[in-house]
Amino acid sequence: MKKTSPVTAAAYIRVSTDDQIEFSPDSQLKKIKEYAKQHKMQIPSEYIFVDEGISGRNADNRPAFLHMIQAARQKPRPFDQILVWKFSRFARNRQDSIFYKSMLRKECGIDVISITEQLSDDPTSILIEALLEAMDEYYSINLAQEVRRGMNEKFSRGGVVGPPPFGYCLSDGHFIPDPSTAPFVSMIFSDFISGMTCRQIAAKLNQLKIHTIRGNSFEARSIRYILGNPFYLGMQRRHLSSPQSSEFMSLVRSLHPALISKDLFEEAQKRLTITQHSYTFPMQSLHSVYMLKGLLRCSCCHSTLTRTGKGNSLQCCKYTRGQCPESHSVSLPCIQEIILQQLEKELSCLSDMPLHITNPTSRHKKNRAQVPVFPDIITLLLSEHISGNLKNQILHTFIDQIIFSRKNHTIQIYYNFRSTPPFFIAE
């Protein structure tokens, strides 16, 4: 009698932070292994997929689930069945459940089996499975609504509904001033009122080795968030329906102590409004592709120089966020002219070398064109009829990066085939 090989199965385990009645990952795996042993199945360790602390509402947010689906679509198929503790572990969204179960069954020949919700081969099992899926989705949506309702009620009473912001810490279920960071909150507001920019304040805090609540360096945008946050007045704000709602956030008096005065906060709001308007420019002028985009780098931190203001100058992107101590502000037309002059000198010996111009958004060969390096490339770069986007593509084919030092007045061009010594520019 021919001996049949055991069925190979995969185990999928999910535990979310919302469900209070579900088993732990170890408990779910133990039950699944017991079921597999009883039904003469084997579960290799590489086919045990676990998502911890993740909701089942959206499959795209579950990395282990997506890895399992990817593995299931291999040829030949690596396993014959997927075992779950309950169907709700596979998905709490009917659309995801139907889509992935159907795809696994039709394309891969793999069934999803719940070890606690056994279904027969009878046609009525289709109705039972659909009912279970609907109940799982209802439970998930209803639970989310109940949690939000409870959070809103707690918020309306001034209770803790989120992590502490910069300057506070959590103690016995209440927010209290953090002795190590609270003094810097008033400093941020005072410095801003006295004329310092958000970038300068961020740089100051970074030099003092002060970090955000998440342990990161400060940026200009994190300073702006602090300046506009009424939490420091002893208030809390929250969307009562959902974070994506278009309605205004509700503001209530909280139980935590304020760190700044109302007058100081209002002064900061006035200056924020003025500075935000002064930095508002058409999106096209800020983001249109220019010849040196992505090539010019800061000699201090090696970050990219990007457009500032109305787009007529470049600056180190980390300096604008307060994370680089050295300014590299330079006129865009001026630096382009200098670099073109240097390219004309350095590329004269490479006139016979063909290069590929490739559209950065496509890597297909049909989108490539052959052009000579010199003198035609310099002619193209100088032409007013060639777009900044095409000029940028041309430079990216043979230049790796360009290091600019404002302090030393030097520029060094690194080609894909070699680098050249830095050359000095006039002050």
User: Residue 304: what are its φ and ψ, rounded to 5°?
Assistant: -75, 140
Query: What CA–CA distance (Å, rounded) separates 92 from 57?
Result: 5
Q: Under a CB-based contact definition with an 8 Å cutoff, are residues 279 and 285 in contact?
A: no
Query: What CA–CA distance (Å, rounded) separates 290 from 305?
Result: 12
Could you tell me if residue 180 is inside a domain? Answer: yes
Same domain membership, residue 395 and residue 419: yes
Write down which residue in 260, 278, 296 finishes a domain.
278
SS3 325: coil
Could you tell me if residue 163 is inside a domain? Answer: no
Write down which residue in 118, 139, 160 finishes a domain.
139
Which residues 6+ apart lie within 8 Å of 34 measured at CB? none
| Domains contained in the chain, number | 3
First to last CA, the chain: 92
- Give me the tens of pLDDT residue by residue for the chain, a chain 427 residues long: 444 567 899 999 988 765 544 568 888 899 999 999 999 999 999 999 998 877 756 777 788 999 999 999 998 999 999 999 888 888 877 677 778 888 888 889 998 888 888 765 666 666 666 666 666 666 656 655 666 666 666 666 666 667 888 999 988 878 899 999 999 999 999 999 998 999 899 999 999 999 998 888 898 889 998 998 888 888 887 655 655 554 556 677 778 888 999 899 899 888 888 877 555 444 444 446 788 888 999 999 989 998 876 668 898 988 888 888 888 889 888 888 888 888 877 776 555 444 444 444 444 444 444 444 444 677 777 777 778 888 888 888 888 899 999 888 888 988 876 656 666 665 5
Parallel/antiparallel/unpaired status of strands 399-405 and 410-415: antiparallel
Could you tell me if residue 150 is inside a domain? Answer: no
User: How far from 123 is each of 47, 105, 127, CA to CA, in Å?
Assistant: 30, 16, 8
Could you tell me if residue 380 is inside a domain? Answer: yes
Same domain membership, residue 296 and residue 257: no
What does the block give as tokens for 165? 């912001």
What does the block give as tokens for 147? 């949690």
Write down which residue in 278, 299, 333 finishes a domain.
278
Could you tell me if residue 1 is inside a domain? Answer: no
Same domain membership, residue 262 and residue 326: no
Domain region containing 293: 286-424
Q: Under a CB-based contact definition with an 8 Å cutoff, are residues 286 and 311 in contact?
A: yes
Parallel/antiparallel/unpaired status of strands 7-15 and 41-42: parallel
pLDDT of res. 361: 41
Same domain membership, residue 220 and residue 101: no
Same domain membership, residue 293 and residue 261: no
Looking up residue 233, the CATH number of its domain turns out to be 3.90.1750.20
Which residues 6+ apart lie within 8 Å of 199 measured at CB? 220, 223, 319, 320, 321, 322
Query: What CA–CA distance (Å, rounded) separates 64 from 66?
Result: 5
Same domain membership, residue 407 and residue 293: yes
Same domain membership, residue 182 and residue 131: no
What does the block give as tokens for 110? 């793999």
Could you tell me if residue 145 is inside a domain? Answer: no
Residue 247 CB-density burial (10 A; 0-12 exposed, 13-18 middle, 19+ buried): exposed
Could you tell me if residue 110 is inside a domain? Answer: yes
Same domain membership, residue 273 and residue 371: no
Residue 103 CB-density burial (10 A; 0-12 exposed, 13-18 middle, 19+ buried): middle
Residue 284 CB-density burial (10 A; 0-12 exposed, 13-18 middle, 19+ buried): exposed
CA triplet 65, 69, 74: central angle to 5 degrees?
Answer: 150
Same domain membership, residue 292 and residue 264: no
- The pTM assigned to this predicted structure is 0.46
- How far out from the chain centre does Cα 99 lie? 27
Looking up residue 127, the CATH number of its domain turns out to be 3.40.50.1390
Of 187, 186, 167, 189, the closest CA to residue 178 belongs to 167
User: How far from 352 is each of 220, 347, 373, 377, 403, CA to CA, in Å?
Assistant: 48, 10, 7, 12, 27
Query: What CA–CA distance (Å, rounded) separates 89 from 138?
Result: 14
Same domain membership, residue 307 and residue 262: no
Could you tell me if residue 269 is inside a domain? Answer: yes
Same domain membership, residue 253 and residue 325: no
Same domain membership, residue 365 and residue 347: yes
